[in-house]
Structure 1
Amino acid sequence: MSRLVRDARYEVLPTGTIEDKVLEHVPVEQTITVTASPSKGLDVTLDLAERLTGHGYTAVPHLAARMVRDKAELAEICDRLAGKGITKIFVPGGDADPPGAYPDALSLLEDLKEIGHSFDQVGIAGYPESHPTISDDLTIQSMWDKRKYATHVVSNLTFDAKVVNTWVTRMRARGITMPLLLGVPGPVERAKLLAMATRIGVGESTRFLNKNKGMFARLAAPGGFTGESFLEKCAPTLSAPEALVEGLHVYTFNQVAETAAWRRDLLARLAKDL
């Protein structure tokens, strides 16, 4: 767990204040991923990733497939990011409706390969829980179809360790052997968490929290919910060599200061227990 927490990367939303928050609270050796929103457009994501790269961070922009207009724009994005020294990307399907030329991540990944991109890491999404618009069987099949274009899987947010353990076992049984970055929540305020839950596809976890009142009470406490107990319950899966869990992907919801403090405190406690 110490290794995973130490090497955790943070996901942030490209808002007007997030750059200053990252600079103030996050050391440059930590990787930052930048989400993409149909309401803001991809330029906002790319701009922030480029600026963070300029500050010395490893920045990973989300290239949401449905937000990319066509192959010509995709080639322009690849050239633009390569010119700024960005070598890692994350390719989700995205929520843009209607989409451009790419209805899903696979179609964009196919064109990325044809273009001959220079990225050394290409992440794809994994869904431990039901996706709002895609069946469970299709999400597993989709990872299989995308495996030859990607270097790793990033799991969507969940709060139920049993769900994670089952999903990882099922994924590996299907022969998907890409390393996994396990998605975990940082210290998230309850109101913000519940507002996001259904939209990002963690409705089952929200119901799980409602059934487990003690955990739900912790969401209401100052500092909100953290991933510590979740990680402990996932430990049997995380520690199994066949699980191929390479790191953590922390969903900060831009609560960067709180997430950084939680990470420092957890690392200190883990070191004390060694």
Structure 2
Amino acid sequence: MDLRQDFTDSNLLPPRLIDNWSIEVLPRTAAKVPSFLDLLPTGTQIFLAHVDGTPLPSLVETARRLRNEGFSVTPHLPARSFTGRQELEDLLHRYRNEADITHALLLAGGATSARGDLLSSFDLIETGLFDKLGFKQLHIAGHPEGNRDIDPDGSTRHVDAALLRKCEFAKRTDARVVITTQFLFESHSLLDWARRIETLGIDLPIHVGLAGPAKLQTLIRYAMTCGVGPSIKVLQKRALNLSRLLLPYEPTEMAQTLEAFKSANPSSRIERFHMFPLGGIEPAVHWCRQQMKA
């Protein structure tokens, strides 16, 4: 049963940000789940992480399995993980032909050195392969709190320029282009960023990254590894409160603030939530289901 369809149709209300949530899944996590049909609503968009060292045929097989179970699958494509255009093209052909994949998340990737001549997500775009092979939706990364790997000085000059280039690409591609953000812990940072990029002329849909329920120590570790910016202070402040230190973090407060904003500003480009299940996929799915019932 697709809970999202039930709730949106029965109340005849515009979709909320939670109603069409998507979720990240690691290949090793997928291997441990006998059937995602027992876990996720049918049709959920699953982002399949591309973990270096995972054989490419294994990624294709996982994507095929998830598609056969009735899910929309969006593989990560980290530019620096490919030896070159040919390896990328071979993988895209397999995703399209063997798993009927039409969505992808384009990334530079976390590797400090590239395996080939593809260095950035725009290098992936410039291959022209996604229109050639009929991809229908392309996700690009958004960094509401900046990205020190791209702008070491703490500014947003280069990340803004990259988004503007991709916004221009969105006007000439056949695919729908969507910004999917890094997870963060503070709604005001997200809203300020969304307003700011809008003033720059960037009008792409935004899917907001939320960290799923997890222990505080786990979240702080992931946040530091992934370069989360000032909103990490929300976690650090929580760590000083002994009554909350041992309780799992949940993104409820941030989600509710963003839902209220979207309700009051229906033309906002903020479109849905994207879950990073840092504390496990089952707690993240449970939280989403509870929010859908709220």
Q: Which bin holds the TM-score, normalised by the shorter protein? A: 0.7 to 0.9
Q: Residues of 2 paired with 1:145 and 1:243: CA distance?
A: 21
Q: Residues of 1 paired with 2:141 and 2:79: CA distance?
A: 12
Partner of 2:287: 262
Partner of 1:69: 83
Q: Residues of 2 paired with 1:137 and 1:215: CA distance?
A: 36
Partner of 1:129: 145
Q: Letter of the 2:281 partner, please give it.
A: V
- Please report the RMSD computed on the Cα atoms of aligned residues, expressed in angstroms: 2.4
Q: Residues of 1 paired with 2:130 and 2:28: CA distance?
A: 33
Partner of 1:272: none
CA contact (8 A) 1:74 1:112 kept: no
Partner of 2:9: none
Partner of 1:173: 199
Q: Deviations over 1:81-122 (max 9, x none)?
A: 111211111111111232122111101111035871311000
* Pair 1:164-2:190 in alignment: yes
Relative distance call for 1:165 and 1:137 in structure 2 (3 A) is: same
Q: Residues of 1 paired with 2:240 and 2:293: CA distance?
A: 25
Specify the SS of the correspondent of 2:231.
helix
Equivalent of residue 236 in structure 2, options 198, 210, 222: 210
CA contact (8 A) 1:184 1:248 kept: yes
Partner of 1:91: 106
Equivalent of residue 161 in structure 2, options 112, 137, 141: 141
Partner of 2:269: 244
Partner of 1:26: 40
Q: Residues of 2 paired with 1:173 and 1:203: CA distance?
A: 22
What is the TM-score of this pair, normalised by structure 1? 0.87
Q: Letter of the 1:73 partner, please give it.
A: E
Relative distance call for 1:217 and 1:172 in structure 2 (3 A) is: farther
- Name the % identity: 24
Relative distance call for 1:203 and 1:174 in structure 2 (3 A) is: closer
Relative distance call for 1:22 and 1:200 in structure 2 (3 A) is: farther
Gaps of 5+ in 1: 270-274
Q: Residues of 1 paired with 2:225 and 2:143: CA distance?
A: 13
1:175-194 aligned at under 5 Å gives the runs 175-194=201-220
CA displacement at 1:204 relative to structure 2: 2.4
Specify the SS of the correspondent of 1:198.
helix
Q: Letter of the 1:11 partner, please give it.
A: E
